[in-house]
Structure 1
Amino acid sequence: MKIALLTYSTKPRGGVVHTLALAEALARAGEDVTVWSLGRGGDAAFFRPVDPAVTVRLVPFPDVPGEGVGDRILRSIAVLGDAFARRAERYDVVHAQDCISANAVPDCVRTVHHLDTFTTPALAACHDRAVARPRALVCVSAAVAAEVERGWGRTPVVIPNGVDAARFAAAAGADGAAGRARWRERLGRYVLAVGGIEPRKGTLDLVEAMALLRRERPDLALVIAGGETLFDHRDYRAHVEERAAALGVVPVVLGPVPHADLPALVAAAEVLAFPSTKEGFGLAAMEALAAGVPLVTRDLPVLREVFGGAAAFAADPPGLAAKLLAAAGNVDPVRRAAGRALAARHTWDAAAAAHLRFYAGGAALSRTTSRVGIVSISDAVLPPS
């Protein structure tokens, strides 16, 4: 089967990580897979090496000085769509992994990782089209699938993410000791957040929580990794910085962390804070569980669904502070074992097998007017526990 997976960037955002890992797993299953993306700002490769069994097609996308977010997104759609329309290859399945690529190639299957809210009419219309027009939809959690059904009357197939559990588990073991030591020498003891500073990641609430936490644990730093995004969050970041300064919290903002260094950074953390206000699955949180790191998340239905008893949940900054304080340096062996087992069950090979069953069902291959039935998580991807 010839399969095209389309994403919007080469940077290490969750949807891009998903696209590459799924592509490689599909290739291991014997499929002919091509990943298409925009090479933003002169990028000639993805943020990490890609298995040579996967073909990569990067479409040049130079920066335009002064271009606004809306115009950049609309240009992204046009450039990717034009390049894909002129392709020489023919594919059995075209699978878009985000709003941009689903608009660029509307006659596709689309994975809805999470739903966004846009205030401009043009971007709101793009978001709507990217859910309404694809042949069939996949979601990485039942909670997001339910949102799609409520909003658009479509019932996606649910296929959860995989996770490279072995890579993060190794960083927490004896062979990863040197890597963990380097991060601790640089950062001391720290609470880690992954995803950058943006409203959806709940950074402001985390700063408020850290101010409360540090009354008991002044030795704990807040470290924020990641954050490459298309959107302009400068005003929000400025607000977070002002509030942090007022509270005496000094976040260590690392920005994007090299792929090879990320597992050790995660494994060396006292606790991973995941206070997102909106998520589709929580891949960074699952990676922390694979490393045996305690996890504290916002109390959202989707995160309850995905993490269950492997995480601690909180609804507001005081709750986050209390749960982070309880978890930092105080690993619960039962919860740690549950988290590692949960991460180990979410393999990319199982996710690829579920995608192939979905493709073989026909909805991905030809347009239909019927809904695509929801597949339970256990039946779709997870092996028996």
Structure 2
Amino acid sequence: MKIALLSYSTKPRGGVVHTLHLAEALAALGEDVTVWTLGRGGDTGFFRPVSPAVRLRIVPFSDSVSGPADETVGRRVVRSIATLRDAFDPAPYDIVHAQDCISANAVGRCVRTVHHIDHFTTPELAACHERAIVEPYAHVCVSAAVAGELRAGWALTAEVIPNGVAYERFATTEPTARAVWRSRLGRYILTVGGIEPRKGSLDLLEAYALLRADHPGVRLVIAGGETLFDYRDYRARWEVRAAELHVEPIVLGPVPDDELPALVAAANAFAFPSLKEGFGLAAMEALAAGVPLVVRDLPVLREVFGPAAHFAATPAQLATALGHTLTVDDPARRAAGRELAAAHTWVEAARRHLALYRSLH
């Protein structure tokens, strides 16, 4: 089949990671796969090398840094949709599969993966989100919980196909690479995803301040943070609160892709206090690395992680759970986490996508 997978960025974000792994797995099964995306900020390639079996079509897009100085996020989204729409021709493809609301709005008739459901208040973003749900003719969700939200809110039935995990990449990191991060950072709790409302960053900050009472030497490390949205106000609130709490987390920002597995594997614990998720790929990668995992007590994360994770609903509970992982070795839970991560393969995800595509074609 000739398959087009569409994303909105070349930067390392969960949906983009998903798109690339799915594309490579479909191509390995013998399918003809092209990934379309916007090359933001002058990007001419993705954040990591992509298998040569996958065709890439990266459409140039100038962000507001070099565009209108007063451009809002909503206007940038509208311009993103128009830019991708003008470049994309659906005619050559048997399946057009959009991975986000920008690409779904750009391409019209398509299959859509709903990774998670957002709630926007600005008119442009709310309209974009709504069209990207109601207009596609078929839907995929990466968890049953999100499929349930889609069914309850829009009476739509989605195929549930969980994410895969690059298990070997995180499970077999070099000891010397892990030692480099430990030498640099000491004992640390890691979170990946940057500082933003959906990631529960303020709650994690509060939890870290509580944790330091019993574990003064442990550090909080925050990696990632590539995003289309403007979270400067939230980041400012976070920085003010950190100063009030007398804590100084280490904010790494985006980490080179080849360095990320060792950073994850060297962590003493992985914190995932997101307020909204569709699956939790970064957390599953931590399990693959054998790192103790503490997540927000959400139905979707209960579904995905079950007995492999510790669950916490409040900053105090988060601090307690993280403290437990720092003091109590739990090889059975760690083994359960590795087993769970290993069971989620991109090959299986690709096969299930291909079965869906064939049923639609």
TM-score between the two structures when normalised by the length of structure 2: 0.98
Cα distance per residue 1:320-366 (max 9 Å; x no partner): 0000000125331110010000000000000000001111112xx3x
Query: What amino acid is the match of 2:208?
Result: M
Paired residue for 2:15? 15
User: Secondary structure of the equivalent of 2:234?
Assistant: helix
Cα distance per residue 1:143-181 (max 9 Å; x no partner): 00000111111010000000001000011xxxx111111
Paired residue for 2:270? 272
CA distance in 1, matches of 2:85, 2:182: 45
The answer to whether the Cα contact below 8 Å between 1:294 and 1:331 also exists between their aligned partners in 2 is: no
The answer to whether the Cα contact below 8 Å between 1:194 and 1:224 also exists between their aligned partners in 2 is: yes
User: Secondary structure of the equivalent of 2:131?
Assistant: helix
**Larger mean Cα displacement after TM superposition, 284-293 or 63-72:** 63-72
Paired residue for 1:135? 137
Paired residue for 1:357? 355
Cα distance per residue 1:70-93 (max 9 Å; x no partner): 1110000000011003x7x60000
Number of aligned positions between the proteins: 357
User: Secondary structure of the equivalent of 1:9?
Assistant: coil
Structure 1: unaligned runs, 5 residues or longer = 366-385
Paired residue for 2:233? 235
User: Secondary structure of the equivalent of 1:191?
Assistant: strand
CA distance in 2, matches of 1:158, 1:252: 36
The correspondence for 1:115, drawn from 89, 114, 117, is: 117
User: Secondary structure of the equivalent of 1:27?
Assistant: helix
Paired residue for 2:77? 73
Paired residue for 2:26? 26
User: Secondary structure of the equivalent of 2:290?
Assistant: coil
Deviation at 1:3? 0.3
CA distance in 2, matches of 1:338, 1:43: 39
Paired residue for 1:93? 95
The answer to whether the Cα contact below 8 Å between 1:70 and 1:123 also exists between their aligned partners in 2 is: yes
Paired residue for 2:168? 166
Paired residue for 1:342? 340
CA distance in 2, matches of 1:166, 1:198: 29
The answer to whether the Cα contact below 8 Å between 1:223 and 1:252 also exists between their aligned partners in 2 is: yes
CA distance in 1, matches of 2:248, 2:291: 23
Paired residue for 1:244? 242
Paired residue for 2:200? 202
Deviation at 1:65? 4.0
Query: What amino acid is the match of 1:195?
Result: G
Paired residue for 1:368? none
In percent, how many aligned pairs have the same letter?
69
User: Secondary structure of the equivalent of 1:273?
Assistant: strand
CA distance in 2, matches of 1:357, 1:299: 33
Paired residue for 1:253? 251
- 1:323 equivalent to 2:321? Answer yes
CA distance in 2, matches of 1:329, 1:138: 40
Aligned CA-pair RMSD: 0.9
User: Secondary structure of the equivalent of 2:50?
Assistant: coil
- Where in structure 1 do 4 or more consecutive aligned residues deviate above 4 Å? none
CA distance in 2, matches of 1:218, 1:199: 26
The answer to whether the Cα contact below 8 Å between 1:12 and 1:47 also exists between their aligned partners in 2 is: yes
Cα distance per residue 1:15-63 (max 9 Å; x no partner): 0000000000000000000000000010010000000000000000012
User: Secondary structure of the equivalent of 1:38?
Assistant: strand
The answer to whether the Cα contact below 8 Å between 2:75 and 2:124 also exists between their aligned partners in 1 is: no
Query: What amino acid is the match of 2:328?
Result: N
CA distance in 2, matches of 1:121, 1:72: 13
Structure 2: unaligned runs, 5 residues or longer = none
